[in-house]
Chains A and B, each alone.
Chain A
Amino acid sequence: MALIECKNLTLGYEGKPIVSGLDFKVSEGDYLYIIGENGSGKSTLMKALLGHKCVLGGEIIFDKSLSRKEIGYLPQQTVIQRDFPASVKEIVYSGCLNGCGLKPFYSAAQKKHAKEVMAKLGLTELENRCYRELSGGQQQRVLLARALCATKKLLILDEPVAGLDPVVTRNFYQLIEEINKDGITVIMVSHDMNAATEYASHFLHICHTPSFYGTKHDYLCCDVCRVFNAGGDEK
Chain B
Amino acid sequence: MIQTLTYYLSFSFIQYALIAGLLISLCASLLGVTLVLKRYSMIGDGLSHVAFGAMSVAAVCSLAPMAVTLPVTILAAVILLGMSSNGKIKGDAAIAMISVGALAIGYLLMNVFTVSSNVSGDVCTTLFGSTSILTLTKNDIILCSVLAAVVILVFILFYHKIFAVTFDENFANATGTNTKLYNNLIAVVTAVVIVLAMNLVGALLVSALIIFPALTAMRIFKSFKSVILGAAVISVTCTLIGLLIAILYGTPVGSTIVIADIVVFGIFSVIGKIKNR
Decide if B5 is an interface residue (CB 8 Å cutoff): no
Asked if B218 contacts A85 (CB within 8 A), the reply is yes
Nearest CB to that of B38 among chain A residues?
Answer: A81
Q: What sequence of 0s and 1s flags, for each residue 54-89 of chain A, a beta carbon within 8 Å of any chain B beta carbon? A: 000000000000011111110100101101111101
In the complex, what residues of A have CB within 8 A of residue B223's CB?
85-87, 89-90, 128, 130
Q: Quick one: given A75-B170, A78-B168, A106-B160, are A98 and B175 in contact (CB under 8 Å)?
A: yes
Q: Quick one: given A78-B168, A90-B163, are A85 and B176 in contact (CB under 8 Å)?
A: no
Decide if B224 is an interface residue (CB 8 Å cutoff): yes
Asked if B163 contacts A71 (CB within 8 A), the reply is no
Nearest CB to that of B172 among chain A residues?
Answer: A97
A50 to B37, CA, bound (A): 25
Asked if B171 contacts A73 (CB within 8 A), the reply is yes
Main secondary structure of the interface of B (DSSP, over half): helix
Q: Quick one: given A128-B223, A130-B222, are A78 and B171 in contact (CB under 8 Å)?
A: yes
Among the stretches B49-57, B76-84, B151-159, the one at the interface with A is B151-159
Decide if B180 is an interface residue (CB 8 Å cutoff): no
Decide if B167 is an interface residue (CB 8 Å cutoff): yes
Q: Quick one: given A85-B222, A90-B223, A128-B223, are A70 and B160 in contact (CB under 8 Å)?
A: no
Q: What sequence of 0s and 1s flags, for each residue 154-196 of chain B, a beta carbon within 8 Å of any chain A beta carbon? A: 0011111101100110111111110000000000000000000
A163 to B231, CA, bound (A): 35
Determine the interface band of chain A, counting residues with CB < 8 A from chain B. Answer: 35 or more
Decide if A119 is an interface residue (CB 8 Å cutoff): no
Tell me how far the C-beta of A116 lies from the nearest C-beta in chain B, rounded to whole angstroms.
19
In the complex, what residues of B have CB within 8 A of residue A100's CB?
160
A89 to B177, CA, bound (A): 19
Nearest CB to that of A151 among chain B residues?
Answer: B175
A89 to B224, CA, bound (A): 10
Asked if B173 contacts A104 (CB within 8 A), the reply is no
A78 to B175, CA, bound (A): 14
Q: Quick one: given A90-B163, A94-B163, A104-B160, are A73 and B174 in contact (CB under 8 Å)?
A: yes
Main secondary structure of the interface of A (DSSP, over half): mixed
In the complex, what residues of A have CB within 8 A of residue B170's CB?
75, 78
Decide if A210 is an interface residue (CB 8 Å cutoff): no
In the complex, what residues of A have CB within 8 A of residue B221's CB?
85
A87 to B163, CA, bound (A): 12
In the complex, what residues of B have CB within 8 A of residue A202's CB?
none
Decide if A51 is an interface residue (CB 8 Å cutoff): yes
Tell me how far the C-beta of B84 lies from the nearest C-beta in chain A, rounded to whole angstroms.
15
Tell me how far the C-beta of A69 lies from the nearest C-beta in chain B, rounded to whole angstroms.
3
A34 to B160, CA, bound (A): 33
Nearest CB to that of A87 among chain B residues?
Answer: B223
Asked if B172 contacts A85 (CB within 8 A), the reply is no
In the complex, what residues of B have CB within 8 A of residue A106's CB?
160
A93 to B167, CA, bound (A): 12
Which residues of chain A from 95 to 126 have a CB within 8 Å of any chain B CB?
Answer: 95, 97-98, 100, 104-106
Asked if A75 contacts B171 (CB within 8 A), the reply is yes
A105 to B160, CA, bound (A): 7
Decide if B135 is an interface residue (CB 8 Å cutoff): no
Decide if A150 is an interface residue (CB 8 Å cutoff): yes
Which residues of chain B from 203 to 246 have a CB within 8 Å of any chain A CB?
Answer: 218, 221-227
Which residues of chain B from 29 to 83 have a CB within 8 Å of any chain A CB?
Answer: 37, 39
Tell me how far the C-beta of A46 lies from the nearest C-beta in chain B, rounded to whole angstroms.
9
Nearest CB to that of A67 among chain B residues?
Answer: B176
- Residue of A85, A95, A150 ringed by the most chain B CB atoms within 10 A: A85
Asked if A104 contacts B158 (CB within 8 A), the reply is yes
In the complex, what residues of B have CB within 8 A of residue A133's CB?
222
A133 to B167, CA, bound (A): 16
Nearest CB to that of A129 among chain B residues?
Answer: B222
Question: Chain A residues in contact with chain B, CB under 8 A?
Answer: 50-51, 67-73, 75, 78, 80-81, 83-87, 89-91, 93-95, 97-98, 100, 104-106, 128, 130, 133, 146, 150
A-B contact pairs, 28 of them (CB 8 A): A51-B174, A68-B174, A72-B175, A73-B175, A78-B168, A84-B37, A84-B167, A85-B221, A85-B222, A85-B223, A85-B226, A86-B163, A87-B223, A87-B225, A89-B223, A90-B225, A94-B164, A94-B167, A94-B168, A97-B161, A97-B164, A97-B175, A98-B176, A98-B177, A100-B160, A104-B158, A105-B160, A130-B222
Question: Chain B residues in contact with chain A, CB under 8 A?
Answer: 37, 39, 156-161, 163-164, 167-168, 170-177, 218, 221-227
Given contacts A85-B223, A104-B157, 13 further A-B contacts (CB under 8 A): A68-B175, A80-B167, A83-B218, A86-B224, A90-B223, A94-B168, A94-B172, A97-B164, A97-B172, A104-B158, A104-B160, A106-B160, A146-B171
